[in-house]
Chains A and B, each alone.
Chain A
Amino acid sequence: MRNAFADEMTKLAQQNNRVVLLSGDIGNKLFDKFKAVDERRFYNCGVAEANMMGVAAGMALSGLRPVVYTITPFTTTRCFEQIRVDVCYHKAPVVIVGTGSGLSYAELGPTHHSLEDIAILRTLPGMRVMAPCDTAELRLALRAAVAEDGPVYIRIGKKGEPAIHAQAPDLKIGTAIVVRQGIDVALLSAGTIMPEVLKAADLLQGQGISAEVVSFHTIKPLDVDYLAAASKRVKLVATVEEHGLIGGLGSAVAEWRAAANAATPLICFGTPDEFMHEVGGQEYARAKYGLTPGNIATRILAALSKA
């Protein structure tokens, strides 16, 4: 995903002379092509994320379209107040990109995990929160974000994530994309966990359950039109994300469900209220927290049998 990010940034820089890229001392050589377009529009801001976010806001207030890029915890929790005051209070059109989101960097330990970013950024007035499922969605999300007049946060993975969309989908901020149509249950996925969700749908298909799979690439604003329609059609809604159960897509859908008095049962798959201190890669971490096709299918089947 990060290679696609660098490539799309290069194209955006060629097409729009207001686009500026700020990096927190990561991506060595990744942005060489961007720099070749216009070196004056690339800034390595060092290991100083609070300042980087303020600088980006200052640029945005001067008419530029800065994109801030570093590892997710450092571009979100580390500089949350700068995002709140400098970016959001000013409605500054800054695009904040977090790389290695969720459990992508599981083996680096909890300092590098990001299981709270959706939750905290969702609280900020005017902030849009996106989690594309593959490189096609990422490229479109980035383009849409740069065209917005206010702040956008995009959480992305690392590298080598499988492609979900055979061809570029029609992506609009705030409109979910149905990846596979289904009848019995709706599986709502945010971010790079999507391949596991599609495998869960396959397993359910084997049990005679038709699962709709939807990319909720935008968590805020939430696609309430989809939710309202789907909750009338399906027997069960499930959310899946590499994020804590507090405050992420699952919480956002639960908030909608309570406010809308929707009766359709909801199951949320995410990480529990703990730091993962054990050593392990992304696959290990997903398995530990039940973010596997088998566990997702099993819990959905059990819930359906009770429904």
Chain B
Amino acid sequence: MADIATLQATARDLRARIIENSSKTGTPHLGSCLSCVDILTVLYFAVLRIDPTKPRDATRDRFILSKGHGAPALFQVLAKRGFYPESMLDTYGQDGGVFAEHPPTPDHLAGIEAATGSLGHGLPLGLGMALAGRIQQLTCNVYAVLSDGECNEGSVWEAAMLAAAQRAANLCIIIDFNKWQATGRSREVMALDPLADKWRAFGWNAIEVDGHDMTALLNALQQHPARDGRPTAIIAHTVKGKGVSFMEDDNNWHYRIPTADEVARAKQELGVST
């Protein structure tokens, strides 16, 4: 059992690094990154069966950040997990580098399973990987984090239906349900509610949790794979900009870049000194 306090400390540190990097490199989508940090932390430090020294091992679990604009969070997580040195992140945003606003392909950065950025692609890709694992008789699981806004995309629901029809039990998605999309409340833009019921109606094992409660996340992830063959959808209720009081649930931080003063205040709130 992973140590919850350690996971929480890891997430605090990651938040500080993500905020610093946003300020330093002018990278947006800070609110979207902060809402999924706890999910990524639990996955990468307590759930995924991966070996950073063997990023292409056939038996590994797969993770796809389908909400590709959360890449600044994923890049920090992969470095911390040991896929590449943290010093590599010093090249963030530099011309000719690999760290930008969205994940590159696996050919360009170790630890990445799929390039995303256009929404609605990660779940079909993940379903393909899950079915491939079954064809190849591997026991690997495939995980994907989607955003609530991403569920606007029809391809998400196409994949949802095929995954249920194929009883792709080794597929698990976590929806970072932070209640916002780029320009408005996600339940108002596209009538998203009731989100968990939608997934249940599509034949998935839907579990609702507090997406910032490490213990709850871990419990939900440990219920996967479902014994009845259904794929798993964890609806993680999150807060956009989570962890910094003046960013929480304020959609301006979808695009805003923090000032040096705001970075200092954020780190103070997070209790991260370096």
- Which A positions have Cβ atoms within 8 angstroms of B? 20, 40-41, 43, 45-46, 48, 50-64, 66, 81-82, 85-86, 89-91
Q: Is B150 an interface residue (CB 8 A)?
A: no
Per-residue A-contact encoding for B181-212, CB less than 8 Å = 1, 0 else = 00000000000000000000000000000000
The residue of chain A having its C-beta at the shortest distance from the C-beta of B64 within the complex is A58
Check if B135 sits within 8 Å of A40, measured CB to CB.
yes
A53-B124, A64-B135, A86-B121 known; A58 vs B162 contact (CB < 8 Å): no
Is B118 in the interface zone, CB < 8 Å from A?
yes
Asked if A61 meets B106 with Cβ closer than 8 Å, knowing A20-B135, A56-B128, A82-B155, the reply is yes
Tell me the nearest residue of chain A to B58, going by C-beta: A63
Asked whether A46 lies within 8 Å of B125 as measured between CB atoms, the reply is no
Q: Is B158 an interface residue (CB 8 A)?
A: yes
Which B residue's beta carbon lies closest to that of A62?
A: B132
Q: Which residues from chain B contact A43 at a C-beta distance below 8 Å? A: 131, 166
Chain B residues lying within 8 Å of A59, measured Cβ to Cβ, are: 128-129, 131-132, 135
**Are A89 and B135 also in contact (CB < 8 A) when A46-B161, A55-B128, A82-B124 are?**
no
B261 proximal to A (CB < 8 A): no
In the bound assembly, the distance between CA atoms of A57 and B125 in angstroms comes to 6
B124 and A51 contact, CB distance less than 8 A: yes
User: A58–B129 contact, CB under 8 A?
Assistant: yes
Name A54's contact: one of B105, B130, B135, B159 (CB within 8 Å).
Answer: B159
Q: How near does chain B come to A277, taking the closest CB pair, in angstroms?
A: 28
- 7 closest pairs, A vs B, by CB? A58-B128, A54-B124, A62-B132, A51-B158, A48-B158, A55-B128, A58-B125
Shortest A186–chain B CB gap in Å is 39
Stretch at the interface among B80-88, B90-98, B107-115: B107-115
Digit string of B209-243 for contact with A (CB within 8 Å is 1, else 0)? Answer: 00000000000000000000000000000000000
> Is there an interface contact between A40 and B162, defined as CB atoms closer than 8 Å?
no
Distance (whole angstroms) from the CB of A84 to the closest CB of chain B: 9
Given A41-B135, A53-B124, A89-B105; A58-B114 close (CB under 8 Å): yes
Q: Which of B106, B125, B130, B155 has the most A CB atoms < 10 Å from its CB?
A: B125
Question: Is the Cβ of A57 less than 8 Å from the Cβ of B106?
Answer: no
Return B60 CB to nearest CB of chain A, in Å. 10
Q: For B127, list chain A residues within 8 Å (CB).
A: 51, 54-55, 58
The CA-CA distance from A52 to B115 in the complex, in Å, is 17
Residues from chain A with a CB closer than 8 A to the CB of B125 are: 54-55, 57-58, 61, 86
Residues of B115-152 whose CB lies within 8 A of A: 115, 117-118, 120-121, 123-136
* Closest residue on chain A to residue B132 by CB atoms: A62
Asked whether, in the complex, the Cβ of A62 is within 8 Å of the Cβ of B128, the reply is: yes
Complex: A60 Cα to B121 Cα, angstroms = 15
**Of B123, B134, B136, B165, which is within 8 A of A63 by CB?**
B136
Closest A residue to B154 by CB, please name it.
A50
B-side contacts of A62, CB under 8 Å: 128-129, 132-133, 136
Report B-chain residues with C-beta under 8 Å of the C-beta of A41: 135
Which residue in B118, B134, B155 is a CB contact (below 8 Å) of A51?
B155
Residues of A within 8 A of B105 (CB): 89-91
Tell me the smallest distance from the CB of B63 to a CB of chain A, in Å: 13
Q: How close is B35's CB to chain A, nearest CB, in angstroms?
A: 24
Chain B residue at minimum C-beta to C-beta distance from A40: B135
Q: Which residue of A is nearest B130, CB measured?
A: A58
Q: Is A86 within 8 A of B124, CB to CB?
A: yes
How many Å lie between the Cα of A61 and that of B129 in the bound state?
Answer: 7
Q: Which residues of B contact A91 (CB under 8 A)?
A: 105, 107
Contacts of B117 in A (CB 8 A): 85
Beyond contacts A43-B131, A58-B130, A59-B129: 14 other A-B pairs, Cβ-Cβ < 8 A, are: A20-B132, A41-B135, A48-B155, A48-B158, A50-B154, A50-B158, A55-B127, A56-B128, A58-B125, A58-B126, A63-B58, A63-B132, A82-B155, A86-B124
Q: How far is the CB of A8 from chain B (nearest CB, A)?
A: 20
Q: Which residue of B has the minimal Cβ distance to A94?
A: B128
Chain B residues near A66: list those with CB within 8 A: 128
Most buried by B among A54, A56, A89: A54
Nearest Cβ distance between residue A193 and chain B, in whole angstroms? Answer: 34
Bound Cα distance from A60 to B113, whole angstroms = 12
Asked if A51 and B113 sit within 8 Å, CB to CB, the answer is no
5 contacts between A and B (CB under 8 A): A51-B127, A54-B121, A54-B159, A55-B127, A57-B128
CB distance from A87 to the nearest CB of B (A): 10
Q: For residue B48, give the distance in angstroms from its CB to the closest CB of chain A.
A: 16
Distance (whole angstroms) from the CB of A20 to the closest CB of chain B: 7
Give chain B residues whose Cβ lies under 8 Å from the Cβ of A54. 121, 123-125, 127-128, 155, 159
Residues of B within 8 A of A90 (CB): 105-107, 114-115
Q: Contacts A61-B114, A81-B118 given; indicate if A55 touches B135 (C-beta within 8 A).
A: no
Q: Which residues of chain B come closer than 8 Å to A64, judged between CB atoms? A: 132, 135-136
Complexed CA–CA distance, A52 and B162 (Å): 9
In the complex formed, the residue of B with least CB distance to A91 is: B107
Shortest CB distance B139–A (Å): 14
Looking at the assembled complex, report how far the CB atom of A288 sits from the nearest CB atom of chain B, in whole angstroms. 35
With the chains together, A86 CA to B105 CA distance in Å? 10
* CB-CB nearest in chain B for A53: B124
- Distance of A54 Cα from B130 Cα, bound (Å): 12
